[in-house]
Amino acid sequence: MSLVPYPPEAVDRYRSAGLWGTRTIADELHAVASQHPDRDAVVALDGRVTYRQLDSRSDLLAAGLAGLGLRPGDPVLLQVTNRLDTVLGWYGLLKAGLVPVATLAAHRAHEISEIARRVGAVAHLVERGGKFDLVGFAREQAVGQVLVLGELPEGDPARARGLVEEIQAGIGPDAVAVYQLSGGTTGVPKVIPRLHAEYWYNAAAYARSWGWTPETRVAHLIPVIHNAGIVCAVHAAHSAGACLVLGTPDLDESLPLLAREGATHVLLGHGHYRAADHPGFPAATAAITQVVLSGAKVPPSLFDRLEARGIWSGQLFGMGEGLFLTTRPGAPRTARATTVGTPLSEHDEIRILEPGSETEVPPGAVGELCARGPYTLRGYYDAAEHNARAFTSDGLYRTGDLASSQPIEGQRYVSIEGRIKDLINRGGEKINAEEVELVLLRHPRITGAAAVAMPDPRLGERTCAYLVVDGDPLTLPEVAEHFAAHGVATFKWPERIEHLAEIPRTLVGKTDKKALAADIARRIGPEEMSAR
Ligand code: AMP
């Protein structure tokens, strides 16, 4: 079976507790839009829409998409960046009953061909105008129909609403709404099916956890077609009737937008932990009442600086697979500064297990964070073999993250203490080490390869490849050429190489990644970390 369903008794429990609703995401948006028609729904660098405009324009897009012969349930790949049209297109797809597949604008042939095959994508939605010609790329990939943001056909305004209602009436709340991609498993990314009711619940619970209201103005700077972008920004803001202030990762253009639009809440990913040093930061945060830090361990100095400016700060742990932990308003300062908080839902069950076992570690000890709950997946899509390893026997998802928990003022708070999954977290983009190694080993002169995370002051981590080669050492440009020839997304290319006579092994014969990570951390050293 490709899709692992939530057990029927869990569905009943989540629904009767009022967590899961009975509407599709498109219907949820329409209901909120009808309540707040004249409020701002999205303010982006390239335009703005009220809820009424968002609702009616996405209806037109849905009708246009249906007119192209795309059918409810059809997966559509998305490769777009943070623009107003992206949000319109997102809801347009959902309203047409199509299933957005959240690939990254940075993905190339290596990723797109595999993801398209795995989900059976019938169309590829891209944007025009970036440095890379995504439209030409999509044509070459020939996944199906090539759709271009801003150039999508619109249906008949008199019929669009009725058509959307008809389409949505045919979709159950527990059908697949979106495919997200996992960064943290073996090989190429695994596909995470997200269902209408649970995905909307995830976002609505997130908005409630911060106490958002229709007055809230939620700024988002990191790629919006990511799980964090959809849950924490697009759906969460819209579940509360709030405004999404959509910037881009470029602080020079986005901080003035936050200032102009009076943003009240912002999520800062690891790549933006230095935003506080930017000259535009004070103006951008003049109306901010909540800064949420996420994606990597938060340096205490950053937390102190934000609080010294009077900005309330908290933390978030989240993943495309589901589980969220947050330090919500009212959490003690120590909890906000040193932990990622408590689970989003009172129905989340978390356990910290000895890796590879089902035994809980003693209180306070470090183990693998495992979770089951009303918005955490029960299985990757079409991945039976992997699923058998990725869950405990009673269905808790093994996150691959290491965590500990400690009581603070009577509550159990979780801290992230590292990870066991073999990936590199490059400013929030997850790079699968095994995927990189498999590409390296396709090079005719590379006989051994290990990809490890090297510390980087700006991005947190970047990829260093340890290589065993036949003949003369390879240069970094030669390795880059090899990755380009295989159509691999640039963010996955090794950014440093080290040559070895052989790859070090552990006693059980696995690549000794710990030794290699320690080696590269030593070579980089504190001077290089502070110089960059
Ligand atoms: P993604 O599914 O791309 O959102 O990535 C989720 C992964 O990012 C988690 O499994 C963690 O490895 C990492 N992550 C997310 N939030 C945090 C955090 N606050 N601290 C440390 N790691 C985090």
Q: pLDDT tens digits for 295-332?
A: 888 888 899 989 888 999 999 999 999 999 999 999 99
> Residue 471 Cα, ligand 1 centroid: separation in angstroms?
39
> Residue 294 Cα, ligand 1 centroid: separation in angstroms?
8
pLDDT > 90 in the chain, percent: 91
> Residue 239 Cα, ligand 1 centroid: separation in angstroms?
23
> Residue 451 Cα, ligand 1 centroid: separation in angstroms?
19
Q: Which atom of ligand 1 is nearest to the CA of 227?
A: 4
* Closest residue CA from atom 13 of ligand 1: 295
Please give the single-letter amino acid code of residue 433.
A
* Closest residue CA from atom 14 of ligand 1: 295
> Residue 510 Cα, ligand 1 centroid: separation in angstroms?
25
* Closest residue CA from atom 12 of ligand 1: 401
The model's pLDDT over 233-285, given as tens digits with 9 standing for 90+, comes to 999 999 999 999 999 999 999 999 999 999 999 999 988 988 999 999 999 99
For 45, 279, 441, the CA distances from 466, given in Å and listed in that order, are 42, 39, 12
* Closest residue CA from atom 5 of ligand 1: 319
The model's pLDDT over 113-139, given as tens digits with 9 standing for 90+, comes to 999 999 999 999 999 998 999 999 999
The model's pLDDT over 323-368, given as tens digits with 9 standing for 90+, comes to 999 999 999 999 999 999 999 999 999 999 999 999 999 999 999 9
The Cα–Cα gap between 204 and 341 comes to 18
* Closest residue CA from atom 9 of ligand 1: 319
The predicted pLDDT at position 5 comes to 97
Evaluate whether 456 touches 441 at the Cβ level (below 8 Å). no
Evaluate whether 298 touches 341 at the Cβ level (below 8 Å). no
> Residue 63 Cα, ligand 1 centroid: separation in angstroms?
37
The predicted pLDDT at position 525 comes to 79
Mutate to test the pocket of ligand 1, among 430, 431, 461, 492 (most ligand atoms within 8 A of CB): 430
Q: Which helix (H) or strand (E) holds 431?
A: strand 429-432
The Cα–Cα gap between 454 and 521 comes to 6
The Cα–Cα gap between 94 and 25 comes to 7
Q: Which atom of ligand 1 is nearest to the CA of 400?
A: 10
**Mean pLDDT of all residues in 87-104:** 98
The predicted pLDDT at position 187 comes to 64
Structural domains of the chain, with CATH:
346-421 (2.30.38.10), 423-531 (3.30.300.30)
The Cα–Cα gap between 370 and 18 comes to 24
Evaluate whether 413 touches 336 at the Cβ level (below 8 Å). no
> Residue 318 Cα, ligand 1 centroid: separation in angstroms?
6
The predicted pLDDT at position 527 comes to 67
> Residue 350 Cα, ligand 1 centroid: separation in angstroms?
16
Q: Which residues of 191-212 are buried (b: 16+ CB within 10 A; e: fewer)?
A: bbbbbbbbbbbbbbbbbebbeb
Q: Which atom of ligand 1 is nearest to the CA of 429?
A: 3
Lookup: tokens for 358: 């089902």
* Closest residue CA from atom 17 of ligand 1: 295
Mutate to test the pocket of ligand 1, among 319, 327, 397 (most ligand atoms within 8 A of CB): 319
The model's pLDDT over 198-222, given as tens digits with 9 standing for 90+, comes to 999 999 999 999 999 999 999 999 9
Mutate to test the pocket of ligand 1, among 292, 370, 401, 461 (most ligand atoms within 8 A of CB): 401
> Over the Cα atoms of the chain, what is R_g?
23
Q: Which atom of ligand 1 is nearest to the CA of 293?
A: 19
Evaluate whether 414 touches 284 at the Cβ level (below 8 Å). no
**Mean pLDDT of all residues in 369-396:** 96
Residue 184's pLDDT band (boundaries 50, 70, 90)?
low
The model's pLDDT over 41-87, given as tens digits with 9 standing for 90+, comes to 999 999 999 999 999 999 999 999 999 999 999 999 999 999 999 99
Q: Which atom of ligand 1 is nearest to the CA of 180?
A: 2
pLDDT value at 90 more than 60 = yes
The mean pLDDT value of the chain amounts to 95
> Residue 323 Cα, ligand 1 centroid: separation in angstroms?
10
> Residue 222 Cα, ligand 1 centroid: separation in angstroms?
14
The predicted pLDDT at position 419 comes to 93
The predicted pLDDT at position 278 comes to 95
Angle at which helix 25-35 crosses helix 196-209, to 10 degrees, equals 40
* Closest residue CA from atom 21 of ligand 1: 296
Mutate to test the pocket of ligand 1, among 190, 294, 317 (most ligand atoms within 8 A of CB): 317
> Residue 152 Cα, ligand 1 centroid: separation in angstroms?
34
Q: What angle do CA 364, 510, 384 make, to 5 degrees?
A: 75
The predicted pLDDT at position 526 comes to 74
pLDDT > 70 in the chain, percent: 98
Residue 531's pLDDT band (boundaries 50, 70, 90)?
low
* Closest residue CA from atom 6 of ligand 1: 319
Mutate to test the pocket of ligand 1, among 185, 425, 429, 432 (most ligand atoms within 8 A of CB): 425
- With a Cβ cut-off of 6 Å, ligand 1 is lined by 183-184, 227-228, 294-297, 315-320, 340, 399, 401, 416, 419, 430
* Closest residue CA from atom 20 of ligand 1: 296
Q: Could you tell me the sign of the dihedral formed by the alpha carbons of 378, 384, 385, 386, in that order?
A: negative
Residue 530's pLDDT band (boundaries 50, 70, 90)?
low
The Cα–Cα gap between 398 and 396 comes to 6
Evaluate whether 375 touches 390 at the Cβ level (below 8 Å). no
- Determine how many CB atoms are found less than 10 A away from the CB of residue 509: 7
> Residue 229 Cα, ligand 1 centroid: separation in angstroms?
13
The predicted pLDDT at position 212 comes to 98
> Residue 352 Cα, ligand 1 centroid: separation in angstroms?
16
